Structure 1
Amino acid sequence: MGERDGDLARGAALLGPADIRRLAAELDLRPTKRLGQNFVHDPNTVRRIVKDAGITADDVVVEVGPGLGSLTLALLPRCHAVHAVEVDPVLARHLEHTVADRAPTLTHRLHVVQDDAVVVKAERFAEKPTALVANLPYNVSVPVVLHLLAELPTLDKALVMVQAEVADRMAAGPGSKVYGVPSVKIAWYAAAKRVATVPRTVFWPVPNVDSALVRLERREEPPGDKAQVFGLVDAAFAQRRKTLRAALAGWAGGAERAEELLTKAGVDPRARGEQLDVTDFAAIAGQL
């Protein structure tokens, strides 16, 4: 039995390029850059995403931006439930019809949440989510991930498809040229790893950049006040070429005070933000 036959046997007929264009025509859909609408039309890509996500039959999955349902249809046979968060009301309404048509035995597993994933609240989900799997809009990918990790503490794993450059920033460690605010803030919640590159040709319309998959695994948060640490991180990277003594002067109330806090935390005042990991930032904020 091939992969396509296996999908059908489990109750889901995946969408191909012709299906995507037909659905878009039926809905008179014109994908917009504002909403980051680039729809995956390659069944092998969505199968790979689901496989790499490590989804089990017990998982309650949050999918952000399900669009026309390509990834949704691949997720439904593999998990307990999918809570699909869609901001576009037309797409949100139509997703249930697509699932009823192509996966009629799995409709009970789908819960559509019409909302903005950057602000959606935990109470919108009928069950406690355990996994995030999503093809995220490029323009809000990091804010969405950070919001959901904070709002949904039961999320213990994620696999997200984002712009390749964003993937590099999300997974970067200290010392990397692309290490910065997103890297540190995501590290507060989870260990991030870039696992694969996704070519632009699997999308419609074709974006002008490649994408990548990033795997996140929840870990224990560092001690301290998150808001205070995040404010410190923002200050440290706002002037990333300056030493921390200088970059944190405004945050700490003066360069001398910044040096004092850094020294107490065991951090060289001459260091730069790109050299510190999230526990270093937590230690500095803890001196307040």
Structure 2
Amino acid sequence: MDTPLEKSPAGPRPAALLGPVEIRQLADELDITPTKKLGQNFVHDPNTVRRIVTAAAVADDDDVVEVGPGLGSLTLALLDTVRSVTAVEIDPRLAGRLPRTVADRAPDHADRLTLILQDALTVTPTDFRAAGAPAPTALVANLPYNVSVPVLLHLLAGFPSITRVLVMVQAEVADRLAAAPGSKIYGVPSVKAAFYGTVRRAGSIGVNVFWPAPKVDSGLVRIDRFPAGSEPWPVTVETRAAVFPLVDAAFAQRRKTLRAALSGHFGCGAAAEQALRSADIDPGLRGEKLGVADFVRLAGVGR
């Protein structure tokens, strides 16, 4: 009789990811009907969340912040890969259930999860420290669609430790974030995201991987923050405070020339023209023609 081979010690068990049946069961248990107000569309396809984690290129030395974890689909996939996940959730019912879902479906990784019950638009590094969460190195999230850009910009501004971003947003928003100067969809989100790093489209997601299915497709956006010490311009609070109001003014009325659009910012049309010419920018151009470097240069002149 053959002697059974001795088994090698097993590593941590992979998380049991959520499918359509599990998503509906959890929602029924919590008496949750996804709301448009909170931008809730729950991913129920395991392949999609694995794809997001792969596109984010996160590893076992990453501390990830996830906004709007919902029922935990992406959270479970992240916990299989990264050192820690800090989930920021505004819905008390979802926040209350998530640790138990992780304990049930990823018991070997449950200690990697920290939960912060808060609006992501107000969360700060102080809140992370109070929760015992590490400073995040990456943002990976299916962002609530109704506040996706404000949340993204808030976290990039407030958490300089974030070096990489992979977010799922509405396809139209993804296109705008990744748009280049000169295109019709290039605008305020494009400039402000590019202030922090290199922005690109990282894929498309159809409606059938969500419950409920949204009316529009989704897109993945990847942002790689400029490496510290080699930024093309100072990515500081002071620079941002000078540049972003210029960006807002330049795109407030897209059809206006920069001379006209920025007249209020500089006090009058003549002052705006002088500032533009001093920054080597044609006053007859429109805002969509300027890259971030142009706005930074103009901000330096305008202060």
Compute the TM-score of the two structures, normalised by the length of structure 1: 0.96
Q: Which of the numbers 219, 222, 227 marks the counterpart of 2:233?
A: 222
Q: Which runs of 5+ in 2 are unaligned?
A: 1-10
* Paired residue type of 1:222: W
Q: Is the 8 A contact 1:83 1:111 kept in 2?
A: yes
Q: Which of the numbers 147, 157, 164 marks the counterpart of 2:154?
A: 147
Mark the CA change 1:235 to 1:227 in structure 2 (over 3 Å): closer, same or farther: same
**Secondary structure, in 3 states, of the residue corresponding to 1:225?**
helix
Alpha-carbon distance between aligned partners in 1 of 2:12 and 2:177, rounded to the nearest angstrom: 37
Superposed CA deviations along residues 203-256 of structure 1, whole A, max 9, x for unmatched, are: 000110100000010012623621121001000001111110111101110000
Query: Partner of 1:62 in structure 2?
Result: 65
* Paired residue type of 2:33: R
Structure 1 residue 101 and structure 2 residue 115: aligned? Answer: no
Query: Partner of 2:274 in structure 1?
Result: 260
Q: Is the 8 A contact 1:188 1:221 kept in 2?
A: no
**Could you say which structure has the larger radius of gyration?**
2
Q: Which of the numbers 85, 88, 102 marks the counterpart of 2:88?
A: 85
Aligned residue pairs, count: 281
Shift of 1:9: 6.3
Alpha-carbon distance between aligned partners in 2 of 1:70 and 1:139, rounded to the nearest angstrom: 20
Shift of 1:123: 1.6
Q: Which of the numbers 290, 300, 303 marks the counterpart of 1:276?
A: 290
Query: Partner of 1:192 in structure 2?
Result: 199
Superposed CA deviations along residues 255-279 of structure 1, whole A, max 9, x for unmatched, are: 0000000000010111110000011
Mark the CA change 1:221 to 1:95 in structure 2 (over 3 Å): closer, same or farther: farther
**Secondary structure, in 3 states, of the residue corresponding to 1:25?**
helix
Q: Which of the numbers 12, 22, 26 marks the counterpart of 2:25?
A: 22
**Secondary structure, in 3 states, of the residue corresponding to 1:97?**
helix
Structure 1 residue 136 and structure 2 residue 143: aligned? Answer: yes
Alpha-carbon distance between aligned partners in 2 of 1:216 and 1:10, rounded to the nearest angstrom: 31
Query: Partner of 2:173 in structure 1?
Result: 166
Q: Is the 8 A contact 1:82 1:111 kept in 2?
A: yes
Structure 1 residue 43 and structure 2 residue 46: aligned? Answer: yes
Alpha-carbon distance between aligned partners in 2 of 1:122 and 1:144, rounded to the nearest angstrom: 14
Q: Is the 8 A contact 1:11 1:104 kept in 2?
A: no
Alpha-carbon distance between aligned partners in 1 of 2:105 and 2:240, rounded to the nearest angstrom: 44
Alpha-carbon distance between aligned partners in 1 of 2:211 and 2:26, rounded to the nearest angstrom: 12
Deviation larger for 115-124 or 210-219: 115-124
Q: Which of the numbers 98, 120, 125 marks the counterpart of 1:117?
A: 120
Compute the TM-score of the two structures, normalised by the length of structure 2: 0.91
* Paired residue type of 1:61: V
Query: Partner of 1:249 in structure 2?
Result: 263
Q: Which runs of 5+ in 1 are unaligned?
A: 1-7
Query: Partner of 1:4 in structure 2?
Result: none
**Secondary structure, in 3 states, of the residue corresponding to 1:15?**
coil
